[in-house]
Chains A and B, each alone.
Chain A
Amino acid sequence: MEDKRSELKKIIMDTRTLPTLPNVINKLNALSDNDKASVQEMARIVSSDQVLSARILRLANSPSYGFYRVSTISNAMILLGVNVVKSLALSSSIFAIMEKNSVGLWEHSLGVGVAANLLARKLGLPECEEIATAALLHDIGKVIVSLKCSEAAKEIQDLVDERHLYTMDAEHEVIGTDHAEIGGWLSKSWFLPDKLSEPIAFHHDVDKSQNHRIKTSVVHIADVLIKASGFGNSGDRYVPVMQQIAWDTLKLNEQIMTELVTEIEDKLVEVRNFSLEMMSE
């Protein structure tokens, strides 16, 4: 089994065929780590991608921010903040990869993104945007498995259907690893920061998250909630066990949970319409 795992790791990490992030994101990452970089420079890079520019302007002009008539990318970047723009760039390119692959999984990820964002805001956590991005990406490992080893992916799904296993257990049986670990490898190869790669790699095992346990807990709880809600299709038939450690880390209680479920479901009504629109486009 160990052979299979390392063999798979080799296949998955084969950079020639790995889905790559658009150049824009790598450049943005490099610039934002550099203290001397100016917003104007970053705006120039963003402007080279017209889809991304349009999304950023749309977000900056959306009523939820309350600014009106933002027409330049550099103004939008100042208003929204560099981190929001980076998350937006990252998530819109991940959508492009996921959307083609599986609408059900894409919807599930979108739902978990929404749930994580609501939970993070409700708890007043810092870096809500990063948490939502990590939540959007949490199942990226599943996309890679189905892209890179479509036979194994089918075998896993058959196991899930026939023996009523959790996807995680079926993955361990077939490929000797699981989508969370694969997502972790992938985020390393994309040089994503720890605050994204940890929640991706440990969203089924919060205990192992050392540096970003709060973010990992939010993503874990959001994943459980969306599976309970039945929104989208993660490939799993059953709601996973909600981990006590995540519950304790976030100091949750029944009342917060009840309010959160209503908020999430209200928001999902919109998301449902949004994903229908996206599909018809």
Chain B
Amino acid sequence: MQKIPLMLAKAGMVLARDVFRGDSPVGMPICGKDTVLTDSLITRLDQMDVQTVYVDGHPVWEEGERTFDELLQSLDMRFEKSRQEPLNSMLYDIYKAYLAKSMGA
């Protein structure tokens, strides 16, 4: 899941969270999660003053952001001392799977 400005949203991306009017979670949801964005939907959201949306995966690359490989490398480093322990080894696998899923790798 990634939070991106609506400006960078493209048709085909999938909403990971409900979108609320004026970005405030108090009001009415105007678009449910799991909706596939289309150009006209993005224009409508823009007209309703929505500025950011949460989308599935990691479709937008910002400058200075780390790639999946880099993230995996630092995960390996963090687990360097404890990975041989059964519980930590399980946790490592869970995090690795999570990273792969969230980065769309």
The SS class assigned to the B binding surface is helix
Residues of A within 8 A of B82 (CB): 238-242
**Shortest distance from the beta carbon of B51 to any chain A beta carbon, whole Å:** 13
Residues of B within 8 A of A227 (CB): 78
Residues of A within 8 A of B8 (CB): none
A261 interface hit (Cβ, 8 Å): yes
Across the two chains, which residue of chain B brings its CB closest to A63?
B26
Residues of A within 8 A of B88 (CB): 224, 239, 241-242
Residues of A within 8 A of B87 (CB): 241-242, 244, 247
* 6 further interface pairs, Cβ-Cβ under 8 Å (given A239-B81, A262-B98): A63-B25, A225-B91, A228-B78, A238-B78, A241-B85, A254-B94
Across the two chains, which residue of chain B brings its CB closest to A229?
B95
Inter-chain contact A261/B94, CB cutoff 8 Å: yes
- Residues B1-42 near A (CB distance < 8 A): 1-3, 25-26
Partner of B79, one of A166, A228, A247, A265: A228
CA distance A241 to B94 in the complex (A): 15
Which interface class (under 10, 10 to 19, 20 to 34, 35 or more) fits B? 20 to 34
How many pairs of residues, A versus B, come closer than 8 Å at their CB atoms? 63
A257 touching B3 in the complex, CB below 8 Å, given contacts A228-B79, A238-B80: no
The SS class assigned to the A binding surface is helix
Task: Report the count of interface residues on A (CB-CB < 8 A).
Answer: 26
A104 interface hit (Cβ, 8 Å): no
**Shortest distance from the beta carbon of B26 to any chain A beta carbon, whole Å:** 5
CA distance A228 to B82 in the complex (A): 11
**Shortest distance from the beta carbon of A228 to any chain B beta carbon, whole Å:** 6
- Residues A232-260 near B (CB distance < 8 A): 237-242, 244, 247, 254, 257-258
CA distance A7 to B57 in the complex (A): 53
CA distance A269 to B78 in the complex (A): 20
Inter-chain contact A257/B90, CB cutoff 8 Å: yes
Across the two chains, which residue of chain A brings its CB closest to B54?
A269
Inter-chain contact A257/B91, CB cutoff 8 Å: yes
CA distance A120 to B101 in the complex (A): 25
A34 interface hit (Cβ, 8 Å): no
